[in-house]
Chain A
Amino acid sequence: MASPSTHTAHHAPQGFIWKYVFSLDHKVIGIQYYFLGLFSVFLGMSLSLLMRFHMVYPNVAVKWFATLWPAAAAGGIMTPELYLSLMTMHGTIMVFFVLTTVPQSGFGNYFLPIQIGAEDMAFPVLNMMSFWTTFLALVVMVMAFFVQGGAPISGWTAYPPLSGAGPLTGPGEGLGQSLWILSIAIFCGASLMGAINFIATTVDLRCKGMSLMRMPLTCWTWLVTAILALLGFAVLLAAGVLLLLDRLAGTSFFLPSGMFINDHIIANHKGGSPLLWQHLFWFFGHPEVYIAILPGMGVTSQLLSTFSRKPVFGYKAMVYAILSIGFLGFLVWGHHMFMSGMNPYSAMAFSVLTMCIGVPSAIKTFNWIGTLWGGKIHFTTAMLFALGFVSLFVTGGVSGIFLGQPALDLYFHDTYFVVGHFHMIMGVAAIFGMFAGTFYWFPKMFGKMMNETLGKIHFYCTFIGVYCIFTPMHYVGLAGNPRRYADFTNVAYLAKLMPLHVFMTYAAFFTAAAQLIFIINLFWSIWKGPKAPPNPWNATTLEWTVPSPPPFDNFGGVHPVVYRGAYEYSVPGAPTDFTMQTEPPPAAAGD
C-alpha cells in the first residue's frame, strides 16, 4: 500500500526561527499566509466600516478621526479625499492580500502537497521567499497610510492619469501612490514565485497512482489558479513598472498631453495612453477574479461531496469547466472597458465571450446541485458555508450577465450595481470559500476541533448580514446611485435612497460584529478545542490518512499509493460510506 521513503525534501528544522519564522515547511508557510490574510481582512473590513459610516453620516464629527488623520479629518469630519483613500486601500488590501493570498497561498500551500501525496512543495526555499516577499509587499502597502499625503486615492485599479500625474492630483498621489505601485510590483514577484511552485508541484510530485483525473478538485483549482497567476501577474508587473516610470522618471507611457489638473497645465508629458494601462491592467484584472474564486469552487466541490456522502457529480465535467473558466478568463478583459469608447464590434466580441463563461459556470452550479441531490446531507458549519458559497456564486453571477451587455453596462457601470455584483461574487463568495475551508481543515491544521454551535451562529449572522449589505446595492444602483462618491446626502434624486444606505451601514456593522464570533471560535479552539481525530469528517482524500496535525514530512516516512478517485462515497458493497483513496481494490488487497 505504501513504500518506505528513500528521499526527504529537507530535514526537520531546529530552533524557533527556522521552525516558525523562516520555515521551509509548506504547512507552516500555509498557516503564515492564512494569518497574514486574517490580519489583512480585518484591516480591509475596518476601512469599509469607516466608509459606510461616512457615507450615511458625512457631517457627524468623530473625535478619533481627527486623532488618526489630523489633516484629512480635521475636526473629526473626513474629507472626500480621505474617503477615496480608504476606498483604494480597502479594495487593494482585500483583492491582493486576502482574496489572492488565503485561498491559494494559504490553503493551497498547506494542502496541495498532502492531497497529492508529496512531502513538500517542489521548491521549499522559493516557497519561503514567496511568503516573506508577500509580507514585505503588505508592509510597503500599509506604509502608504503613514507618508505625507496619506494613502492613494485612485482606486484598486489605479487608472492614470490620476495615478500617474503626481501630487498635483490630490493628497495620497505623492509618495503614497508610488508606494502602492511598488507594493503591487513586489506582490507580483511573490505571486510568480508561488505560481511556479504550485505548477511544478502538481505536475511532478504526485504520488504513485495519483493520476490527474484522481486529484481532488481543490488541486485542480489550485493548479489552474497558479496558471492564471503566472500569466496575469507578469503582465501587471510590466504595467506597474511603466506606471512607476511615468511617475518618477518623466516618461509618457500612460500620460497624455494637454492635461489640466487643479488649475495647472501639465507640460512634461505627451502622447501616452491611459487606455493602454486599462488594457494591461484588466488583462491581469479579469483573471484575478478567477484567482480569487476558483479555489473556493474547489473547496465547495470537496465539501458538498463529503457532507452529502456522494461522489462529485460529473467529476470530469467539473475539471473541464475549471479549465474552460481559466481559459475564457483571459479573453474577456474588455468587458471592464465598455465605457472607454471602444469599437462597438470589439465590445460585442467581449460581450459574447463573457456570456460564454456562463456555460462552464452553469455546469459547475448544476453539478453541485447534482452532487447534493439525493445525498445524506450533514449540515456542519463547513457545509453551510459551502452551500452559502453556491448561493452567493449564483446571485453574484446572475448580475454579471446584465453587466456583460455593453448597452446595459453603459448605465450600470458607475453605479452601486457593480459594487453589489463584484462584492457578491468575488468578495463574499470567495470569503465563504475561505470560511468553509477553515471549518473543514481546521482539525487537520491545528489538531483541534472548532465549536460547531458558535460556527453556526457565525454562519447565519454572516449569511443574512452579507445579503442585507449587498442586495440593496443592486437596487440603489438600478436607481442611478453613483459609486465612488464620498457623500450623496445633498443630492436630491438620491434622498429617497438614503434610508437604504443607512440600512446597509447597520447591516455592515452587524456583519462585522459577527466576525468576532469567528475570531473567538478560531483562537479559543486553537487553545482549548477538543482534540481532533485523523479523519473527523470520514473523508476520502489523502490529508485525512495522516495524523492531525500531520508530521513534518506529511506521511511519516512512507510514500502513499493511490488506487482510486477522490470522491468515492457510498460505494455499493463497501464496508463504510467512504473509501479512502489509499484503499487498494479488493483484488489487490491480499497482495
Chain B
Amino acid sequence: MGAMAASLTHDIIQGPPPPIDTGWGGGGDGSEGRGADRRATFTGLFVGLAACTMLFAALTSAFVVRRGLSDMNDWVSISKPPILFWNTGILVLSSILLDRSRRALKSGARSRFNLWWSAATVLGILFLAGQAVAWYQLKQAGIFISTNPSSSFFYVFTASHAAHVLGGVTALVYVDVQALRLRLGPAKRTVIDVTAVFWHFLDGLWLFLMLLFYVWG
C-alpha cells in the first residue's frame, strides 16, 4: 500500500526541488518597482480591449443573424449621412497625429508632442461632434432607432462606439492638460502609451464598423 501511495504522489517529492525559474508570461520575477506597474497596466489594457472586442463581436453576430433572418423584408438599408466619411477621415487623422506625437516625445521634442497631441485631442472631440451631426441628420430624415433593423443596429453600433470614444477623449484631454501644465514626467509615459493604443483600437474598430454598415448595413 505504501509503495502504491508513493507511486501515486507527485514527482516533486523525488529529488531536490527544481531551481527558480522566472516563469512564463512576464510575472514570477518579482513585482517590485514601476516595471511591474507598467507591465500590469498594459496587460490590463489588452485584456480590456479583449472585452471590448467581445462586446462588438456579440453585436456583430447579432447583426449578421438578424440581417439573415429578414425574410419578412423588414430590413431596409438606411441611407447613411455622408458626414460619416468626414468623421472617418478625422478619426484616422487623429490616430496619425497621436503617433507623430509619441514619436516626438521619444526624440525629446516636448513642444511638438504637445502640439500634435492637442491636435489629436481636438480631432477626437470633432469626431464625436460629427457623429452627433450624423444622428441629427438621420433624425431630420425621419430615421429613428425603431424605424427598421438597419437603423436600430446603426444607432446601437455608433452609440456603443461613441461611448468608448468618450472614454478615449477623456484620457486624451487628461494627458493634454498634464502636458500643457508641464507635469508629464517619465511616470506618465504609461498613461500616454495606454491612451494611444486604446485610441488606435477605436480607430480600427470604427473602420470595421464603416465596412459593416456599407457592405451589409
Interface residues, chain A, with chain B CB atoms under 8 Å away: 3, 5-7, 116-119, 122-123, 126, 192, 195-197, 199-212, 214, 230-231, 233-235, 237-239, 241-242, 245, 249-253, 257, 268, 270-273, 276, 279-280, 283, 310-315, 370, 373-375, 559, 561-565, 567-568, 570-572, 585-587
Are A237 and B25 interface neighbours, CB within 8 A? Answer: no
- Complex Cα distance, B145 from A347, in Å, reads 35
B72 partner residues in chain A, CB cutoff 8 A: 257, 270-271
- Complex Cα distance, B57 from A314, in Å, reads 37
Are A6 and B27 interface neighbours, CB within 8 A? Answer: no
Are B152 and A253 interface neighbours, CB within 8 A? Answer: yes
- Complex Cα distance, B106 from A261, in Å, reads 65
Query: Does B31 lie at the interface of the complex (its beta carbon under 8 Å from any beta carbon of A)?
Result: yes
- The 8 sampled A-B contact pairs (Cβ below 8 Å) are A6-B33, A200-B43, A211-B22, A230-B51, A253-B66, A270-B72, A280-B58, A373-B5
Closest to A209 in B: B20
Q: Is the interface of B mostly helix, strand, loop or mixed?
A: helix
Are A271 and B149 interface neighbours, CB within 8 A? Answer: yes
Are A374 and B1 interface neighbours, CB within 8 A? Answer: yes
A204 partner residues in chain B, CB cutoff 8 A: 26-27, 31, 36, 39-40, 43
Interface with A: B11-19, B109-117, B175-183, B201-209, which one?
B11-19
A201 partner residues in chain B, CB cutoff 8 A: 40
- Complex Cα distance, B9 from A272, in Å, reads 57
Closest to B38 in A: A204
Query: Does B83 lie at the interface of the complex (its beta carbon under 8 Å from any beta carbon of A)?
Result: no
Are A207 and B33 interface neighbours, CB within 8 A? Answer: no
Q: Assuming A119-B31, A238-B59, A311-B12, is B17 touching A200 (CB within 8 A)?
A: no
B193 partner residues in chain A, CB cutoff 8 A: none
Q: How far is the CB of A578 from chain B (nearest CB, A)?
A: 12
Q: How far is the CB of A485 from chain B (nearest CB, A)?
A: 32
B19 partner residues in chain A, CB cutoff 8 A: 585
Closest to B30 in A: A208
B55 partner residues in chain A, CB cutoff 8 A: 234-235, 237-238
Are A205 and B156 interface neighbours, CB within 8 A? Answer: no
A230 partner residues in chain B, CB cutoff 8 A: 47, 50-51, 54
Are B58 and A234 interface neighbours, CB within 8 A? Answer: yes
Closest to A230 in B: B51
Query: Does B23 lie at the interface of the complex (its beta carbon under 8 Å from any beta carbon of A)?
Result: yes
Q: Mark B59-73, 1 if CB is under 8 A from A, else 0.
A: 101100110011010
Are B58 and A205 interface neighbours, CB within 8 A? Answer: no
Most buried by B among A3, A214, A375: A214
Which 5 residue pairs spanning A and B have beta carbons closest together?
A: A374-B5, A250-B146, A234-B54, A211-B23, A206-B27
Query: A311 contacts which of B10, B48, B51 (Cβ < 8 Å)?
Result: B10
Are B16 and A203 interface neighbours, CB within 8 A? Answer: no
Q: How far is the CB of B192 from chain A (nearest CB, A)?
A: 18
Are B30 and A252 interface neighbours, CB within 8 A? Answer: no
A252 partner residues in chain B, CB cutoff 8 A: 74, 146, 149, 152
Q: How far is the CB of A291 from chain B (nearest CB, A)?
A: 15
Closest to B145 in A: A249
Those of B60-95 within 8 Å (CB) of chain A: 61-62, 65-66, 69-70, 72, 74-75
Q: How far is the CB of B154 from chain A (nearest CB, A)?
A: 11
A214 partner residues in chain B, CB cutoff 8 A: 28
- Complex Cα distance, B19 from A457, in Å, reads 45
Are B9 and A231 interface neighbours, CB within 8 A? Answer: no
Are A206 and B40 interface neighbours, CB within 8 A? Answer: no
A279 partner residues in chain B, CB cutoff 8 A: 61, 65
Q: Assuming A123-B44, A253-B62, A568-B12, is B1 touching A118 (CB within 8 A)?
A: no
Interface size on B, residues (CB 8 A): 60
- Complex Cα distance, B44 from A192, in Å, reads 11
Query: A559 contacts which of B27, B31, B65, B66 (Cβ < 8 Å)?
Result: B31
Are A203 and B4 interface neighbours, CB within 8 A? Answer: no
Given contacts A205-B27, A252-B149, A311-B13, 6 further A-B contacts (CB under 8 A): A118-B31, A123-B40, A206-B23, A272-B66, A564-B18, A571-B12
Q: Assuming A250-B145, A312-B10, is B40 touching A205 (CB within 8 A)?
A: yes
Are B31 and A117 interface neighbours, CB within 8 A? Answer: yes
B18 partner residues in chain A, CB cutoff 8 A: 564
A564 partner residues in chain B, CB cutoff 8 A: 12, 17-18
Are B66 and A273 interface neighbours, CB within 8 A? Answer: yes
Closest to B72 in A: A271
Closest to A305 in B: B10
- Complex Cα distance, B40 from A118, in Å, reads 12
Are A210 and B28 interface neighbours, CB within 8 A? Answer: yes
Those of B189-216 within 8 Å (CB) of chain A: none
Query: A572 contacts which of B13, B28, B50, B57 (Cβ < 8 Å)?
Result: B13
Q: Assuming A206-B27, A563-B17, is B33 touching A7 (CB within 8 A)?
A: yes
- Complex Cα distance, B41 from A196, in Å, reads 10
B54 partner residues in chain A, CB cutoff 8 A: 230-231, 234-235
Query: B13 contacts which of A7, A196, A250, A571 (Cβ < 8 Å)?
Result: A571
Q: Assuming A207-B30, A270-B74, is B44 touching A122 (CB within 8 A)?
A: yes
- Complex Cα distance, B47 from A233, in Å, reads 13
- Complex Cα distance, B27 from A238, in Å, reads 33
- Complex Cα distance, B143 from A251, in Å, reads 12
Q: Assuming A195-B47, A245-B145, A271-B72, is B29 touching A208 (CB within 8 A)?
A: yes
Are A235 and B58 interface neighbours, CB within 8 A? Answer: yes
- Complex Cα distance, B20 from A200, in Å, reads 22
- Complex Cα distance, B59 from A205, in Å, reads 34
Are A206 and B31 interface neighbours, CB within 8 A? Answer: yes
Are A314 and B10 interface neighbours, CB within 8 A? Answer: yes
A570 partner residues in chain B, CB cutoff 8 A: 9, 13
Are B32 and A559 interface neighbours, CB within 8 A? Answer: yes
Q: How far is the CB of A130 from chain B (nearest CB, A)?
A: 12
Are A567 and B10 interface neighbours, CB within 8 A? Answer: yes
Are A211 and B36 interface neighbours, CB within 8 A? Answer: no
A118 partner residues in chain B, CB cutoff 8 A: 31
A257 partner residues in chain B, CB cutoff 8 A: 72, 74
- Complex Cα distance, B65 from A272, in Å, reads 10
- Complex Cα distance, B16 from A237, in Å, reads 50
Closest to B16 in A: A585
- Complex Cα distance, B58 from A233, in Å, reads 11
B185 partner residues in chain A, CB cutoff 8 A: none
Are A207 and B31 interface neighbours, CB within 8 A? Answer: yes
- Complex Cα distance, B58 from A569, in Å, reads 46
A276 partner residues in chain B, CB cutoff 8 A: 62, 65-66, 69
Query: Does B108 lie at the interface of the complex (its beta carbon under 8 Å from any beta carbon of A)?
Result: no
Are A245 and B40 interface neighbours, CB within 8 A? Answer: no
- Complex Cα distance, B10 from A370, in Å, reads 10
Are B44 and A200 interface neighbours, CB within 8 A? Answer: yes
Query: A203 contacts which of B25, B29, B52 (Cβ < 8 Å)?
Result: B25
A206 partner residues in chain B, CB cutoff 8 A: 23, 27-28, 31
B47 partner residues in chain A, CB cutoff 8 A: 195-196, 199-200, 230
Are B43 and A199 interface neighbours, CB within 8 A? Answer: yes
A122 partner residues in chain B, CB cutoff 8 A: 40-41, 43-44
Q: Assuming A122-B44, A245-B145, is B27 touching A203 (CB within 8 A)?
A: yes
- Complex Cα distance, B32 from A6, in Å, reads 6
Query: Does B2 lie at the interface of the complex (its beta carbon under 8 Å from any beta carbon of A)?
Result: yes
- Complex Cα distance, B32 from A350, in Å, reads 46
Closest to A235 in B: B58
